Structure 1
Amino acid sequence: MNPSVDTRRDSRPTAPSQAPYLLRFESLFHSGRGLSFPCDAGGQVALDQLSEQARDNYLFARAVVGHEYATPVVQRCYG
């Protein structure tokens, strides 16, 4: 799966302890609702760093893209 990258934001620096990007799965049925996971600039999520519940949510969201969630978008995080 190749997530699209949201390039509409400026590039302010972030704190080193924060993940600089989020992979956002937007709900197709509930505007403004969705799931977000820390990732790198390419949209790669470190599964081994997620809690069990977050990992389950991530795998579910990936499985239902196009049915429950839109194609994920990589978003830059700002402190």
Structure 2
Amino acid sequence: MPTISTTSAQTGYELRFQSLFQAGRALAFPCDADGHVDMDALSRRALNNYLFARTLIGRDFGSPMVSPILH
């Protein structure tokens, strides 16, 4: 799972892709309240994971959900 960066702390939200097959497995990325991810701010690894999760919606991951980051 990608590490939540300071960018997520600034936005206060994350876009979470939950696995359809493995309980507790998810990929989460910093986003705004509307679920928009600043792909330019992601590390190369996080960007690859984000694109991977988007590609596999409905096959390996459920639809992404926006949620506030609880501090």
CA-based RMSD of the aligned residues comes to 1.1
- Larger-gyration structure (1/2): 1
Q: TM-score, normalised by structure 1?
A: 0.77
Structure of higher RCO (CA pairs closer than 8 Å, 6+ residues apart): 1
Q: Indicate the SS of the match to 1:75.
A: strand
Instruction: State the TM-score, normalizing by the size of structure 2.
Output: 0.85
Give the superposition deviation at 1:78: 1.5
> Sequence identity, in percent?
49
* Greater share of helix: 2
Runs of 4+ in 1 over 4 A off after TM superposition: none
Q: Which runs of 5+ in 2 are unaligned?
A: 1-7
Unaligned runs of 5+ in 1: 1-16
In the alignment, does 2:71 pair up with 1:74?
A: no
Please state how far the C-alpha of 1:72 moved relative to its aligned partner.
0.2
1:7-18 alignment, distance < 5 Å: 18=9
